[in-house]
Amino acid sequence: MGMDLVEQELLVGVGGMAWAFNISKKRDANGKEIDIPVHDYTSLLISRPKAFPFDLKTRSAEREDLVWLQYHEAVDNGEIKGIK
């Protein structure tokens, strides 16, 4: 049951990001895409990918406004701490 819940939450989270943002590889000063290191993980007990550069742009001004609105509602309701 736990795995099913995690998979559903992951699908909703990734789906929301795909709805709101265009996510692409970062480009260097010459406009060439910067490759993502495929096998660069932490050495912790629960391994995860190390941070890498990428571009994140909203799909539209309306979607950006909605993302910020929901963010501020979550902060105001105490659901998240927010950006300092």
What is the enclosing helix (H) or strand (E) of 69? helix 61-76
Helix (H, G, I), strand (E, B) or coil at 77: coil
Whether the per-residue pLDDT at 23 is higher than 90: the answer is yes
- pLDDT confidence of residue 62: 97
- Mean pLDDT of the 36-45 span: 89
Whether the per-residue pLDDT at 2 is higher than 90: the answer is no
